[in-house]
Structure 1
Amino acid sequence: MRNFPPRRAGWHRLSAALLLCSVMVPVSATWADDDPESLDIMERQMERIQQQQMELQRDLTMMRKQIAQHRAHAGTGTGTGEHSLQVSGSAGHVRGGWTPHEGHITAMGERTPPGMGAPHIGGHSDNPNGSFLDTPTFESVVAHRDEDLISHMANNNVGPHTRETVGAQSAGALGSKVFHAGAVSIILGGFFDAAALEENRHVASGIFNSWANIPFRNSSNFHTDNFNGDARYTRFSLMARAPLGTHVTVAGFVESDFGASAETTNPYESNSYVPRLRQAYLTLDDAKTNWHFLIGQAWTMLTPDRVGIIPRQESLPETIESSILAGQTWTRQWQVRLVKDFLEHRLWAGLSIENPATIYDTTGFSAYSDNGEYALPGSGNYAKVGSNGVGLTGSSTNYSNEIAPDIIAKIAGDPSWGHYEMEGIVHFPHDRSVIGGEGQNHTAIAWGGGGSMILPVIPHTLEIRLAGLAGKGIGRYGSVLLPDATLKANGAPDLLSSAQATAGVIAHPNRLVDVYGYFGMQRSGRGYFDSDGTAYGYGNPLSDNSGCWTEGSSACTASIKSVEEFTIGAWYRFIKGKYGTVQAGTQLAYSRVHTWGGIGGAPTTSMSEIFFDFRYLPFQ
């Protein structure tokens, strides 16, 4: 009888790969006892294992043909000696009772010839002679490790998010149910929201905290309390995800709410606020090479994360206010992001090209036109910093001139205790000036650097979050939206220094209650010049602040130096079951605004608020 080519117990390895499929779901079930989010992971694993079973079935059919060919060549035939192996069940169990024995495998009580190699998972042969390579791996069995599973594998005693928390909802958490449309998995997320606040100043911004518009004493709004209720932050999200092969997965995510306002919107009758696009992006993840690609509108990569550099795992406060927290680093904007992880998902490096924008302060510069042009010293001189929107953009919004995208780099680490990040940004403010009839373009180089950390004092129960960013010309990356630049005498951008920081303590005393306290701060530098008796620029000591203390006075041009916020709050999930979660929260916040000194002094102002919120999370 002809001997089979030696394969060093390849069947033993195939058996191990199949048995791994059979134990994946029971292992995941132990996670479910500790983390509801694991239910989602289990379902996704089961889906992938089912797909893998189909590939294994094809491979096994090919192996049976090869065995038949060998036996026919040896004169033994294929009759009753052919193996019978079936893979079935969503848990990936193998029928036939595989047992390793000195390089041989018995299936259905039959002993196979020694040395048969295991098939290469994926349904193709890498051996030119037609036999299969015996190299099944963990990745080839579970097919793809999505962001949730990666979070578990790189457990840093911080995350991933428990999807019911408000921080997770802010980042874009999805539900625990997975629907299928062929090979595409559909996952829903979002919540129904009803929020309200009472504040001791009238800032007509709803539950969005507009710190730069907190009134001084010269405004009657400083002396007027205000109540506002809002359901506009009701949110809906959807992800469609599908495998593109053994290791690569493609996904599309979209998230929307009603937190925008069209020019025709009014609060008097229909309250018909327009839908707002929060996030919409495509991702490609390769579990074999550990490369991760994202393109579309998402949270900027500067936003602190909880684990790795993973979409929807951003570390955001548990606050009710939709502006999040003074000093928080964030934007949501178009970007192209490429991330690589190393050391079993413990070390991450990312580079992102993101949509730019520049906030200019034009204090002292009169409008030369109504289309982003401001008068400079001298007759007929002006600087053009942007243009009003046309077509599908807002006609009342001035869009800044930009010459290049923002460039952001980040390194993140997830040891066994805590999450740590370092990041940097380069931004290129750009404008044009016309002086004496001669036009000239100007480009400045803005920059910044920072970092963040999450310290799990009591893992999954009590954590401390710290984050900060500092540089020049990057004020818009903070919640307060302090300016990036003002203008020089020649019309070129004059970059303003910027710093922002947050610190928080978050406790989860049990699965139903979250308690938090935060401090946030954002600060801006100043840039100015004087010409012909006129004070130009941000924080100019010759600015007229003399009327800031007198109600009805217009002599108050104070420039903000810093904003601070202290806040505490709690959430209680009083209904939690198979039909979702209902939770209620309350928050107390105190904000204080400091200004740069001018003629008449440096006025300050403050605002106290109490927020209430009620949410139904149907998918969590």
Structure 2
Amino acid sequence: MRLSLGCILALALSVLPALAAAGTGANNSSADAKSTAASETKTSPETTAKSEASAEPAKSGLDLEVEELREQLQAQSELIRQQQERVQALEEQLKVSTTTLREGLSSSPAAKPANAAAGLAPAAAVSATAASATVAAAPPAAPPAAPQSTNAPPESPLQLRVGTAYITPVGFVDFTGVWRNHTGGSGIGTNFAGIPYGPVFQNNLSEFRFSMQNSRIGFRVDALVKGAHVIGYMESDFLGNNPGNVAVSSNSNTLRSRLYWVDVRKSAWEVLGGQTWSLITPGRTAISPLPGDLFYSQDIDVNYQAGLVWGRIPELRLVYHASPKAALAVALDAPEQYVGGSAGLGSSSNPPITLPAAFASNAAYSLSATSSEFNNGATTLNVPNVAPDVIVKLAFDPASRFHFEVGGLERQFKLWNPASTTKLSATGAGGFINLGVGLFKGFRLLTNNFYSEGGGRYIFGQVPDFVVRTDGSPSPIHAGSTVSGFEFTHGNASFYGYYGAIYVLQDVITDTTGKLVGYGWVGAGASSSQNRTIQEGTLGFNQTLWKDARYGALNLMGQYSYLTRSPWSVASGAPRDALLNMVFLNLRYTLPGGAPNLER
């Protein structure tokens, strides 16, 4: 284009002198003829005007054409300059857009090409526009559009959006190995109340086991509904009730429900309903149902730590967040009056409590039947509970490294005596104080303490809720527990140590026959499952081998525990304590994902 314009300009300049000379002679002759004719005719107004105009220097037609050509050349030069600037700006914008696209596509699969989002034409259209500018003038080029921001946090590759709700898969894949120097007979979860001792094969043989049962699968749903943050949470594992031959040829482990709840929070108020971690479970921060905000130890053992107070049961919860540093909650938990038979606490041949003689053969008070007035470990959902358990908790977080909570428990028990046809009731109560303090970066001390009469169900069922008096009424058992220790995180590794303990007081009654019954009595025929203390010391680590926000994390975990059990009474010549050493190793792959940003 520049070459063509140069040729035209050179040609025009070369013919200008000749055209100017020819034009001068012709104009002079014409002027003489016109002046003669003018002298012979009458002067008119038009002629007068022309005469006045001719007084000024006249421009020839060729001069006008040359001047017009020069103006066109100047206009074209200006257009060329503008187009060059626009093309240069577009090239710079395309470079920036390409870089932005590469970064955006790596973090957000929904990112659009930067040039399309900014309204830019493709390269072919740019060339066509530049070419057409030599014919018609174009408006000044618009300033380049700013590149799209890539500062937003990358979404999980597994996160789905349905309407205004976000669905995020949660869970991990576990491969667990456990070795015990005595056979616990309970898989990868330890029955603290029933570790073996004495002249039995379980106490004289060790055990080793691989398992994937602790693997988790679930999802959470987040949405904003009329200004309220709604969370739906589901989580399952494979620790359900298994058939007797599950480990022979194909480990068809049973899927089990862990958590199924919905939580709605608006401003300072929060309501939760469903199967959740009970409000009585110690927290790490504030009052929250999310697993990451709770303390249930970092143990690999799926039954956690002896002495831990917890439950995963149906609950209705109301929370008032007075401020980011204080919250008050009250919950109604699904009740279950319990006398033993779970987590190693007794059996039909070694009962956890001793009944008075008048009720020893009464089906309503049976310690082994599948239909009874209390849960004996075999009654499933047949227990006639009276009312929900009431739990209250007050939590304070004055600083990021300090968490304190205090609360209480109230329970109701009721039995019916078939002999007297009377209803007999009792009230259970308890309290807890939990504290977590960060002494310095990465290092945290914690202590969780619980004491109750009739709250044994919440100490992982290691203590019966009550014994039965001679009139058939319930008598709540007094018991306390603690889990205290430290947690330390440094780089990609974390270390922890806990001491857990349970202490159960005696509740001994003299039967009408003169025999001692209840819990914790000493003498011939006493049950060795009526424990006085259960203690466990644990050390462990969790090493992150690899982690990426888009693809998940791989961790290697280890745990060593030393467990003791001391009954109130043992057989003559039997050891006073049962001892157990345990080693756990676990390889875990955690799915990527996290809570979505609903404000985007």
Whether 1:310 and 2:310 are equivalent positions in the alignment is no
* Number of the residue aligned with 1:443: 425
- SS of match in other structure, 1:442: strand
Q: Distance in 2 between matches of 1:389 and 1:233?
A: 31
Match of 2:482 among 493, 498, 501: 501
Instruction: Give the alignment of 1:30-41 within 5 angstroms.
Output: none
Displacement of 1:259 after TM fit?
0.7
- TM-score w.r.t. the length of structure 2 is 0.66
Q: Does 1:610 align with 2:583?
A: yes
1:606 maps to amino acid? L
Q: What is the 5 A alignment of 1:555-574? A: 557-574=528-545
TM score, norm. by length of structure 1: 0.64
Over the matched positions of the two proteins, sequence identity in percent amounts to 22
CA apart distance, 1:399 = 4.3
For 1:585, give the aligned amino acid: M
- Match in the other structure for 2:29: none
Q: Which runs of structure 2 are paired with 1:40-79 in the superposition (5 Å)?
A: none
Bigger Rg, which one: 2
Cα distance in 1 for partners of 2:287, 2:468 equals: 36
Aligned alpha-carbon RMSD (Å): 3.4
2:387 aligned residue: 404
Question: What does 1:325-474 align with in structure 2 at a 5 Å threshold?
Answer: 325-343=305-323, 345-361=324-340, 376-377=357-358, 383-384=364-365, 388=370, 397=380, 399-416=382-399, 417-435=401-419, 438-459=420-441, 461-474=442-455
Distance 1:374 1:520, change over 3 A: closer
Whether contact under 8 Å (1:476, 1:482) holds in the other structure is: yes
> Measured at CA, do residues 358 and 379 of structure 1 come closer, stay the same or move farther in structure 2, by a change above 3 Å?
closer
The reply on whether 1:580 has 2:520 as its aligned counterpart is: no
What runs of 5+ residues in structure 2 fail to find an aligned partner? 1-106, 109-146, 594-600
**Structure 2 residue aligned with 1:524:** 504
Distance 1:334 1:179, change over 3 A: same
Partner of 2:39: none
Aligned to 1:292: 270
> Across the two proteins, how many residue pairs are aligned to each other?
433
Contact residue 528 and residue 569 of structure 2 kept, 8 A: no
Cα displacement string for residues 580-619 of structure 1 (whole angstroms, at most 9, x for unaligned residues): 1011111110001112146748821110000010000121
TM-aligned CA distance change 1:341 to 1:535, over 3 Å: same
1:558 Cα deviation after fit = 4.8
- C-alpha offsets along residues 540-590 of structure 1, whole Å, 9 cap, x if unaligned? 123436xxxxxxxxxx63510110000101111111123110111111100
Alignment gaps of 5+ in structure 1: 1-41, 44-87, 94-173, 546-555
Q: Which amino acid aligns with 1:501?
A: T
- Runs of 4+ in structure 1 over 6 Å off: 88-93, 372-375, 393-396
Identify if the C-alpha distance between structure 1 residues 316 and 175 changes in structure 2 by more than 3 Å, giving closer, same or farther. farther
Cα deviations by residue, 1:132-187 (Å, 9 ceiling, x for unpaired): xxxxxxxxxxxxxxxxxxxxxxxxxxxxxxxxxxxxxxxxxx97963201111111
Deviation (angstroms), 1:264: 6.1
Structure 1 partner of 2:198: 217
Q: Does 1:258 align with 2:238?
A: yes
Q: Is the 8 A contact 1:401 1:429 kept in 2?
A: no
Specify the alignment match of 1:115 in structure 2.
Answer: none
From the superposition, tell whether residues 523 and 349 of structure 1 become closer, same or farther in structure 2 (CA, over 3 Å): same
Q: Give a deviation string over 1:396-454, Cα, whole Å, max 9, x none.
A: 6474331000000000001024010001000112222222xx32222210000011111
CA distance in 1, matches of 2:304, 2:417: 37
Match of 2:19 in 1: none
Q: Which moved more, 1:213-222 or 1:587-596?
A: 213-222
| Aligned partner of residue 429 in structure 1, secondary structure | strand
Letter aligned with residue 576 of structure 1: K
Which residue is 1:120 aligned to?
Answer: none
Q: How does 1:74-89 map to 2 (within 5 A)?
A: none
| Equivalent of residue 229 in structure 2, options 238, 242, 249 | 249
Work out the CA distance in 1 between the residues paired with 2:210 and 2:220. 30
Partner of 2:135: none
Structure 1 residue corresponding to 2:459, chosen from 475, 478, 487:
478
